[in-house]
Amino acid sequence: MRFSQLIVATPLRSDQKIRSIVVFFVLVLVLLLSSQISFAGDFRAAVVKENITPKVSKFLLGYGARQSEGVLDSIYHQILLLDDGQSIFALVSTDICLVSPATYDRVAKLVEQKFGIARTHFWWSVTHTHSAPEVGGPGLPAAFMGERYTHPIDTSYTDLVTSKLLDGIERGIRELSPATLGVGWGHSFANINRRARDIDDIAFLGLNPDGPVDRKIGILKIVHQEDHRLMATVANYAIHGTVLGGQNLLISGDVSGVVSNYVEERSGAPMLFINGAAGNIAPIYSVYPDARSGRLNQFRRLLGDKILKANAEILHYEDQVSFSAAEMEFLTPVKEGLKWPENLNDYLVDATADVKMIKVPARFLNINDKIAIWASPLELFCEISNEVRDRSPFPYTFYYGYTNGWLGYMLTEEEWVYKGYEPTVSPFVPNAGAKFGEAVLSYLQSELKSKYLNQ
């Protein structure tokens, strides 16, 4: 006989009925708590670190074509999984320079097939170190710098990177455990505008202390719920991975790698470095031939200590966490004369017979209605993300750059006037940046807010 039948089998006095009802709901609660069902707000997390350092020489990406001659420091996938009881969100930070959107699409499909994690919930960000091996095909860079890609694609290393990423997600899912989440801001002077100009007002790659910059550090802090130990730190900061220049032939995570390792050593937990809008931002020491002359280790103090300080100042945590992920597609004309790579045709739309439009995907993650993270496959100028943050309705608004591929530099219209390197490797028209920023703001102020409230 079922429990529900026992309740109504014989007439009961009112006090007996009350006791029976109480017993029934207690039993139901026990059954629910002992089951494997997760409910929204039952926040769990896991972090996994996978070494992807090659054992043999590889072509390095970031400057002219060149092959590695050794390893300065190991490079990694840092994988963070968040589970709000309804879905799993995977954030990956990888110590490489760039991946093509086509490479992201292939890996995202594998992630969805293998783990059921939707594309909108799988973000693959790269730190943009210029001293790491190539991964996958060149994608859009081949349209601007084809001379760098005359050698064959290294499929074996791409397969290694992919398999390690999948292994890491699989392990992370097994290791999900109750967690709490904190958020905060830090500040560092480790970066500087790199659009230098002389009296002729023509920009060149250098240092411009008067130029726009973004020195805020956006921090997410994940802590074990049971014993309050730090599980992982996510640090979002805009800086090119170019302390080491083209003369360096040693594999390295560059500034982000050194800082991540240092924060992990001091805090006892892995750190995901997520680059920001670094299209016009360099480290204060840039393009040196080796780590010593580039003062690479000094960034432990310049940036690492600032991340640790910001992390320590986060004292409020939430264990009731829910999130909403979404995607927006921004259409903008292709720059005249650009030969678009065929393997990126999924990112090209025929608006008319004469006009082709680039489809730029922007991803959004809203956490507990006060954190808004947006991401794009762009090398964005900081003025655009700064304005989005300043006008955002969310108190914590972070921009994750170099995420889910690379579709080139997106400048402000004002900077096109000064010419220089970045406009030559941009597929966009001059007013695209302003329109993109407004489209993102519109999404943050309306659709993302309503998606969270209606979920």
Its sign, for the CA torsion 73, 406, 402, 430, is positive
Q: What is the pLDDT of residue 408?
A: 97
DSSP 147-216: GGG-SPP-HHHHHHHHHHHHHHHHHHHHT-EEEEEEEEEEE---EEEEEEE-TT--EEEEEETTS----E
Banded pLDDT at 271 (limits 50, 70, 90): very high
Average pLDDT, stretch 241-262? 98
Q: What is the pLDDT of residue 357?
A: 96
CB 126 within 8 A of CB 99: yes
Tell me: pLDDT of 436 over 90. yes
Banded pLDDT at 174 (limits 50, 70, 90): very high
Tokens of 8: 């109504």
Q: What is the pLDDT of residue 454?
A: 56
- Percent of the chain at pLDDT exceeding 70: 89
Q: What is the pLDDT of residue 434?
A: 98
Beta strands 396-400 and 371-375 are parallel
Average pLDDT, stretch 321-338? 95
Banded pLDDT at 455 (limits 50, 70, 90): low
Tell me: pLDDT of 431 over 80. yes
Tell me: pLDDT of 283 over 90. yes
Tell me: pLDDT of 91 over 60. yes
Residue type, 130: H
Query: Mind listing the pLDDT tens digit for each residue in 351-365?
Result: 776 789 999 999 999
Q: What is the pLDDT of residue 450?
A: 62
Q: What is the pLDDT of residue 373?
A: 98
The mean pLDDT value of the chain amounts to 91
Query: Mind listing the pLDDT tens digit for each residue in 3-23?
Result: 233 223 334 444 554 455 444
Tokens of 271: 């750190």
Q: What is the pLDDT of residue 36?
A: 35
Alpha-carbon span 21 to 188, nearest angstrom? 59
Q: What is the pLDDT of residue 444?
A: 95
Query: Mind listing the pLDDT tens digit for each residue in 23-49?
Result: 444 333 333 333 333 344 589 999 999
Q: What is the pLDDT of residue 354?
A: 79
Query: Mind listing the pLDDT tens digit for each residue in 106-132?
Result: 999 999 999 999 999 999 999 999 999
Alpha-carbon span 290 to 54, nearest angstrom? 20
Task: Report the range of poorest mean pLDDT among 24-28, 86-90, 297-301, 320-324.
Answer: 24-28
Q: What is the pLDDT of residue 30?
A: 34
Tell me: pLDDT of 134 over 50. yes
Exposed e or buried b per residue across 287-320, where buried means at least 16 C-beta atoms within 10 angstroms of its C-beta = bbeebeebebebbbebbbbbbbebbeebeebbee
- Percent of the chain at pLDDT exceeding 90: 87
Average pLDDT, stretch 166-182? 98
Tokens of 344: 């990126």
Q: What is the pLDDT of residue 453?
A: 53
Average pLDDT, stretch 330-342? 94
Average pLDDT, stretch 382-396? 97
Average pLDDT, stretch 415-440? 97
> What are the extents of the domains in the chain?
323-454
How many other CB atoms sit within 10 Å of the CB of residue 370?
A: 14
Residue 359: which of 392, 329, 321, 327 has the closest Cα? 329
Task: Report the range of poorest mean pLDDT among 8-22, 25-39, 304-318, 402-416.
Answer: 25-39
